[in-house]
Amino acid sequence: EIKDYRVFLERLNNAIARQQENLNSAGARFAASKRVWIEKQQRAKVIDSVVSRYQQVERREQLRREQHEGDEHAVRLLCRQDT
């Protein structure tokens, strides 16, 4: 009976050790995945920033073009009125 109890305890300890190994392995995989996710999030943030700056430049250039076209149109109208 004591022998059976010792065998039971040994099996129980082995099962606990295996589960601890599984837990440690899962923790390591989680940490690695989290690092990859953080790196990808940082990269996405950089890309978003670059896109935002590009869009701002495009908007400014569009406004300049529209202003220039409006100025040219106004000059043409003034020239027609003078003649």
Model confidence over 32-81: pLDDT tens digits?
999 999 999 999 999 999 999 999 999 999 999 999 999 999 998 888 88
> What's residue 78's pLDDT?
86
pTM given for the model: 0.61
Residue 83 has pLDDT above 90, yes or no: no
Helices (H), 1-83: 2-82
Distance CA 16, CA 8 (A): 12
Tokens of 36: 């990859």
Residue 36: which of 23, 66, 12, 28 has the closest Cα? 28
> What's residue 79's pLDDT?
86
Residues in the chain: 83
Mean pLDDT of 14-37: 98
> What's residue 54's pLDDT?
98
Distance CA 58, CA 4 (A): 80
Tokens of 52: 């935002």
